[in-house]
């Protein structure tokens, strides 16, 4: 049974809201799924993404193929990096502790970038308010 990690659409017309799921490739887009891995809300700025990274890595290691958009989301949240590091641990290239340190360092850097974007958006909003007054 081939498995894909893909998006399942929910929400109103014009206000999409997606679940990130592992589903059989033969199932409908919004039909049966095997496991819910997270949510993706593109309506917010920046987009809201909640992902069970360990669950996604488990499915990737078992051979699930992500769609293009799901691959971008998994990459953004670090699931593909964690899978890559797990393969390195399995081959003996690095230890479990080293892999965990690399992943934590990457996550901290990523969170810093997201926080910087949120701050710049808040400043732009404040500047727009001040200009309007």
Q: What is the DSSP string of 41-103?
A: ETTSSSPEEEE-HHHHHHHHHTT-EE-HHHHHHHHHHTHHHHHHHHHHHHHTSS-HHHHHHHH
Instruction: Dump pLDDT digits (tens) for 77-101.
Output: 999 999 999 999 999 998 999 999 9
Instruction: Dump pLDDT digits (tens) for 64-79.
Output: 999 999 999 999 999 9
Cα 92 from Cα 83, distance rounded (Å): 14
pLDDT band of residue 1 (cuts 50, 70, 90) is confident
Average pLDDT in the 7-30 region? 95
Cα 20 from Cα 10, distance rounded (Å): 11
């Amino acid at each position: 049974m081939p498995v894909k990690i893909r998006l399942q659409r929910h929400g109103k017309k014009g206000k999409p809201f997606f679940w990130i799921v592992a589903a059989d490739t033969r199932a409908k887009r919004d039909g049966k799924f095997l496991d819910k891995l997270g949510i993706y809300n593109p309506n917010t700025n920046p987009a809201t993404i909640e992902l069970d990274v360990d669950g996604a890595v488990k499915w990737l290691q078992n051979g699930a193929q992500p769609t293009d958009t799901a691959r971008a989301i998994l990459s953004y949240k670090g699931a593909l990096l964690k899978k890559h590091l797990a393969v390195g641990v399995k081959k003996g290239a690095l230890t479990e502790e080293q892999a965990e340190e690399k992943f934590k360092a990457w996550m901290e850097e990523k969170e810093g970038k997201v926080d910087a974007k949120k701050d710049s958006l808040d400043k732009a909003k404040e500047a727009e308010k001040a200009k309007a007054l």
